[in-house]
Amino acid sequence: MSTPKPADPAAEFERYRHDVYAWAYRLLGRHHDALDVAQDVFLRWVRQVRKAAPAHPRSWLRRVTINRAIDLRRSTRPEPATADVEERAGAKAEDSALERDELRAAVAAAMIELSEMQRSVLTAKVHDELTFAQIAAEHGLAVPTVKTHYLRALRAVRDRLERDRLERDRAAPGRS
């Protein structure tokens, strides 16, 4: 489904670029990687709009951004995000950053196992705080279907986090 082409794709993208950055950052945890993804998504957006503008730009951008972030995560060797300046301050902060890296990796790994629709619905609900009715309208789904996607996705992420926590506990007893 598509709508008439917006006059200026760059201006249209402008409305969502904070969201695009945030969606990418949550999965990647590094400013420069998130910017790279945002730039790549911008290019895809310009090309897509020139063919046919998506009916629901935000939903389209969310799906493409999450997919690109996951692709980037898969293709690059994981580096600790502790290289970030503010996270170098002391061992305590490093521990905290390490835990956040592990959490981010676990969430990203769980997201990889979800369907594209489940990822998008979960992100729309948890991070964008849309209502089920808004998500349903954005994705062209019925509200009960959205709730089903949401719960399945949330349970999958929970199970993955739990599994990772158990593995960490086995590897380093008493750490968490």
Partner 1 sequence: MSAVNRDELLAGYLGDELNEAERVRFESMMADDPELAAEVQSLRRTIESMRALDAPGSGRAPGSVRAPGSVRAPRSGQAFETGHAPPKAGVTPSASVSRPLRVWAGAVLRYAAVIGLAFAAGYFMRGREAHEVLTDVSAPRPAGRASREIARPVMPEAGEWLQRAAEVYVSRPRGSSFARSLVAIAEAGEEDQ
Interface contacts to partner 1, rule CB under 8 A: 5, 7-10, 17-19, 21-22, 25-27, 29, 31-32, 34-36, 38-40, 43, 46-47, 50, 84-86, 88-89, 100, 103-104, 107, 125-127, 129, 131-132, 144, 147-148, 150-151, 154-155, 157-158, 161-162
Q: Which residues pair with 53 in a beta bridge?
A: 3
Shortest reach from residue 129's CB to partner 1, in Å: 7
Specify the residue, 60 or 150, whose C-beta has the smaller distance to partner 1.
150
**Other beta carbons within 10 Å of 134:** 16
Least separation in angstroms between CB 26 and partner 1: 5
* Shortest spacing between CB 25 and partner 1, in angstroms: 4
Least Å from the CB of residue 17 to partner 1: 6
Q: Are 21 and 35 in contact (CB under 8 A)?
A: yes
- Region at 76 (left for phi over 0; alpha for psi -120 to 50; beta for the rest): beta
Whichever of 35 and 137 has its CB closer to partner 1, that residue is 35
* Least Å from the CB of residue 1 to partner 1: 19
User: Of 60 and 132, which CB lies nearer to partner 1 in the complex structure?
Assistant: 132
The DSSP secondary structure of 105-130, one letter per residue, reads HHHHHHHHHS-HHHHHHHHHHHTS--
Phi then psi for residue 53, to 5 deg, are: -70, 130
Rounded to 5 degrees, φ, ψ at 52 are: -165, 125
